[in-house]
């Protein structure tokens, strides 16, 4: 059975290919084979990362320093690298597929992505949006098909099915917020009868409208492939829903509560009690003899060790009982 060279939706891993457009940025490799920025202090070998691998590192999120599995040789754009965290691992293989590697567009990046499908599809969605182009479209079609052993249609389908899966997951997330909003609105009469403190229906309705507006903004951001804007809009919707729901007991921020505690009307201070507790001494009593620092130094300069032992009775050696430990043996 012939091995499939392009894999999109799969239970364990995805296998994708990307056309490189630019060879920079240039990066360093430290003594532990880890990728570092060019400002790394050690005098170590360098490689050209390329625009695709650079976008991969940006879209991956928090991760361990990428590690080189195969160092570049004479060609600084030919290498194998692994970047991973606790749930996902990506192996990136950079090599030329036409033109002897004389131009940046001669190179491709082969990606082997392992991890949960939700995480993989969301990563591919972010990567395609970050690149701003279709990564599967080659610079030299005939050589691309020969190098990847797959047609352009197969590459496109693998990428698009992952992007579609991620879009469906995010649409489902936005729909859950709509359901929360509608369920909260249905409870407003119940909340009004319960007479919650610091809550009124007019403010709650205003917060709900704001949440509805943010959900619509998140859907528009998703339509534009803006995953970061989608998440920020849903975060604002979450905040508005919390403000509208009195059962969350988060109608005021900790800073607002602290300001209220500092108001004079909040704390009733009895000034007479405070004055009674303060002891004021304008000057020291006359009977206390003041000693200047010079006098202190003069009076202590003649002190000897024998003076410090005055009054301490030292036992003589004759009074110390002798114990023979050899008898016990």
Going through the chain in order, the beta strands assigned E by DSSP cover 13-19, 26-29, 35-36, 46-48, 67-70, 79-84, 89-96, 107-114
User: Is the predicted pLDDT of residue 230 greater than 60, yes or no?
Assistant: yes
Task: Give the range among 22-31, 53-62, 303-312 with minimum mean pLDDT.
Answer: 303-312
Span 119-139, average pLDDT: 94
User: Is the predicted pLDDT of residue 108 greater than 90, yes or no?
Assistant: yes
Span 100-123, average pLDDT: 94
Helix and strand totals (H; E) in the chain: 11, 8
User: Is the predicted pLDDT of residue 294 greater than 80, yes or no?
Assistant: no
Mean pLDDT, the chain, whole residue set: 83
Each residue's pLDDT tens digit, 76-103: 999 999 999 999 999 999 999 999 989 9
Q: How far are the Cα atoms of 9, 163, 172 from residue 160, in angstroms, in the given order?
A: 10, 5, 18
Q: Extract the tokens encoding 53.
A: 């691998």
Q: How far are the Cα atoms of 30, 81, 86, 94 from residue 68, in angstroms, in the given order?
A: 10, 4, 18, 11
* 3-class SS of residue 270: coil
If pLDDT is split at 50, 70 and 90, which confidence band does 1 have?
Answer: very low
If pLDDT is split at 50, 70 and 90, which confidence band does 189 have?
Answer: confident
Span 292-313, average pLDDT: 57
Instruction: Note the pLDDT of residue 322.
Output: 63
Span 103-115, average pLDDT: 95
Phi, psi of 144 (to 5 degrees): -65, -45
Closest CA to 92 of 74, 108, 104: 108
* 3-class SS of residue 203: helix
Q: What is the DSSP string of 77-122?
A: T-EEEEEE-SS-EEEEEEEE-SGGG-SGGGEEEEEEEES-HHHHHH
Closest CA to 17 of 143, 118, 137, 166: 137
Span 154-183, average pLDDT: 95
Domains of the chain by residue range: 13-136, 172-254
Instruction: Note the pLDDT of residue 235.
Output: 95
Closest CA to 95 of 82, 112, 107: 107
Are residues 260 and 210 in contact, defined by beta-carbon separation less than 8 angstroms?
Answer: no
């Amino acid at each position: 059975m012939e091995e499939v060279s392009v894999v999109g939706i799969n239970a364990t891993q995805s296998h994708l290919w990307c056309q490189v457009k630019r060879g920079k940025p240039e990066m360093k490799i430290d003594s532990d084979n880890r990728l570092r920025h060019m400002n790394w202090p050690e005098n170590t070998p360098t490689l050209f990362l390329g625009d695709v691998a650079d976008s991969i590192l940006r879209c991956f999120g928090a991760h361990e320093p990428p590690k080189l599995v195969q160092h570049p040789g004479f060609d600084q754009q030919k290498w194998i690298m692994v970047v991973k965290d606790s749930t996902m691992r990506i192996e990136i293989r950079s090599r030329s597929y036409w033109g002897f590697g004389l131009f940046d567009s001669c190179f491709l990046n082969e990606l082997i992505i392992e991890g949960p499908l939700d995480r993989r599809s969301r990563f591919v969605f972010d990567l395609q949006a970050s690149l701003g182009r279709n990564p599967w479209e080659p610079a030299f079609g005939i050589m691309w098909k020969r190098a990847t052993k797959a047609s352009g249609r197969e590459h496109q389908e693998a990428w698009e099915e992952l992007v579609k899966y991620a879009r469906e997951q995010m649409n489902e997330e936005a729909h859950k917020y709509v359901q929360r909003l509608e369920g909260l609105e249905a409870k407003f009469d119940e909340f009004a009868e319960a007479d919650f403190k610091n809550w009124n229906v007019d403010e709650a309705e205003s917060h709900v409208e704001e949440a509805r507006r943010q959900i619509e903004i998140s859907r528009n951001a998703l339509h534009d492939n803006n995953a970061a804007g989608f998440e920020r809009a849903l975060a604002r919707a979450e905040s508005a829903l919390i403000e509208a729901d009195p059962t969350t007991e988060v109608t005021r921020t900790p800073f607002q509560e602290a300001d209220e505690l500092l108001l004079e009307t909040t704390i009733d201070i009895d000034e007479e009690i405070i004055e009674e507790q303060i002891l004021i001494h304008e000057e020291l009593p006359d009977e206390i003899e003041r000693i200047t620092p010079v006098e202190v130094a003069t009076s202590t300069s003649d002190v000897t060790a024998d003076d410090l032992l005055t009054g301490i009775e030292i036992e003589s050696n004759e009074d110390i009982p002798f114990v023979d430990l050899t008898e016990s043996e």
